[in-house]
Amino acid sequence: MKLQDFPLGQTLKLEARGSWPEAYHYFEPDHMKAVVAAWHAGRPLLIRGKPGVGKSQLARAVAECRKMQFISVVVQPRTEYQDLLWQYDAVARLADAQILAAMQDPAIQKKLALKHYVAPGPLWWALNPKTARKRNQRQDGAGKSPDPRLMPEEYAKNGNVVLIDEIDKADIDLPNGLLELLGNQSFTTPHGEIVASGSADKPLIIVTTNEDRELPPAFVRRCLVLRIALPKNDDETAFTAAMRKYAHAHFKDRLDESLFIEAAELLRKERIAAEAAHQPPPGPAEYLDLLRVVDRLAGGDKQAQRDLLEEMRPFVLGKAGSALDESDL
């Protein structure tokens, strides 16, 4: 993987994959430097930043551009580290034990072996899809798991990109539990099976955090770190330029350039007012939502576009309750 493999400073259309809708991604050169560095260092890339700045989409864009497999895991507050590696179905094992005991099956111990009730998790599929697939073929019911890979099968030969999204949602035990995998690119299952990378090219693991919870220092040390942040709100020129990059990636040929600038200024003012009121400020995601609404409702009518921009602003940019008064605009 090299920097030249990516269309630096250009936009790529991302096809709809699974639950991921069609999108467009702008390849920021500094972001891709971090990706290439993580790949060659054999380390995960931890992407820090506020919601809506494009952290998750970066992983998907890398996979799409390089024709690699893509596996995405969204962390929830109750997610445990084992859920990413394997799933153990204790309920099915208990039910089978009752049935086999009632039947006085002489092979009960063999049939109730722990390995029959351990299904591959997403990181197992990423590290060694061959053994994950074999386990699925051998098992019936409890020992099976859906294949989480979202790209065409032929992409597998180019390696895997794994997104662990919003890891800061979970308890600190989750990142701590992944230290073995991050350090050795392998892990041990409950029944003693060692799962390691099945090819010379280890998966590229991209982890995102919204900074809502501090991550363990030992976890951060095992990662390369990329920070994605917006320019300061009081730097109007830099802020507008950053927003225009987002707009060009999605609406370059459909909306007027002046509309991008006007929408960016509305966003900047809304962010200033929201932060002054100690409310969560809107970001690029809301900016694109506003332009998307205008694009779909106004078509090519420039005056209608401007009218809609103002009419829809409170609903799209003011999600926490618009912090702007009419006098602020």
pLDDT in the model for residue 263: 95
pLDDT in the model for residue 278: 86
pLDDT in the model for residue 112: 65
Please check the confidence at residue 323 and state whether its pLDDT lies above 60: no
Q: 91-107: per-residue pLDDT in tens?
A: 666 776 777 677 777 76
- Average pLDDT along the chain: 86
Question: Stretch 17-45: mean pLDDT, rounded?
Answer: 93
pLDDT in the model for residue 144: 65
Whether 202 and 64 map to the same domain: the answer is yes
Domain-terminating residue out of 202, 227, 252: 227
pLDDT in the model for residue 30: 94
pLDDT in the model for residue 114: 62
Whether 221 and 104 map to the same domain: the answer is yes
Whether 194 and 298 map to the same domain: the answer is no
Q: 121-158: per-residue pLDDT in tens?
A: 999 998 888 888 887 766 555 556 778 888 988 898 89
pLDDT in the model for residue 328: 53
pLDDT in the model for residue 292: 92
Whether 196 and 116 map to the same domain: the answer is yes
Q: 54-70: per-residue pLDDT in tens?
A: 899 999 999 999 999 99
Domain-terminating residue out of 208, 227, 246: 227
Please check the confidence at residue 259 and state whether its pLDDT lies above 90: yes
Within a domain: 328: no
Domain that includes residue 240, residue range: 236-319
Domain-terminating residue out of 180, 203, 227: 227
pLDDT in the model for residue 46: 98
Whether 59 and 162 map to the same domain: the answer is yes
Secondary structure, 3-state, the chain: CCHHHCCCCCEEEECCECCECCEEEECCHHHHHHHHHHHHHCCCEEEECCCCCCHHHHHHHHHHHHCCEEEEEECCCCCCHHHHHEEECHHHHHHHHHHHHHCCCCCHHHHCCHHHHEEECHHHHHHCHHHHHHHHHHCCCCCCCCCCCCCCHHHHHHCEEEEEECHHHCCCHHHHHCHHHHHHCEEECCCCCEEECCCCCCCEEEEEECCCCCCCHHHHHCCEEEECCCCCCCCHHHHHHHHHHHHHHHHCCCCCHHHHHHHHHHHHHHHHHHHHCCCCCCCHHHHHHHHHHHHHHHCCCHHHHHHHHHHHHHHHHCCCCCCCCHHHC
Whether 201 and 299 map to the same domain: the answer is no
pLDDT in the model for residue 106: 75
pLDDT band for 86, please (50, 70, 90 cuts).
confident
Please check the confidence at residue 321 and state whether its pLDDT lies above 70: no
pLDDT in the model for residue 320: 61
Question: Stretch 275-289: mean pLDDT, rounded?
Answer: 89
Q: How many domains does the chain fold into?
A: 2
Q: 45-55: per-residue pLDDT in tens?
A: 999 998 888 89
pLDDT in the model for residue 293: 93
Within a domain: 145: yes
Please check the confidence at residue 117 and state whether its pLDDT lies above 80: no
Whether 205 and 243 map to the same domain: the answer is no
pLDDT in the model for residue 27: 94
Higher pLDDT, 258 or 183: 258
Within a domain: 52: yes
Whether 283 and 183 map to the same domain: the answer is no
Please check the confidence at residue 261 and state whether its pLDDT lies above 90: yes
Q: 199-252: per-residue pLDDT in tens?
A: 666 899 999 999 989 999 999 999 999 999 999 999 999 999 999 998 988 887
Question: Stretch 8-16: mean pLDDT, rounded?
Answer: 91
Whether 245 and 288 map to the same domain: the answer is yes
Whether 217 and 251 map to the same domain: the answer is no
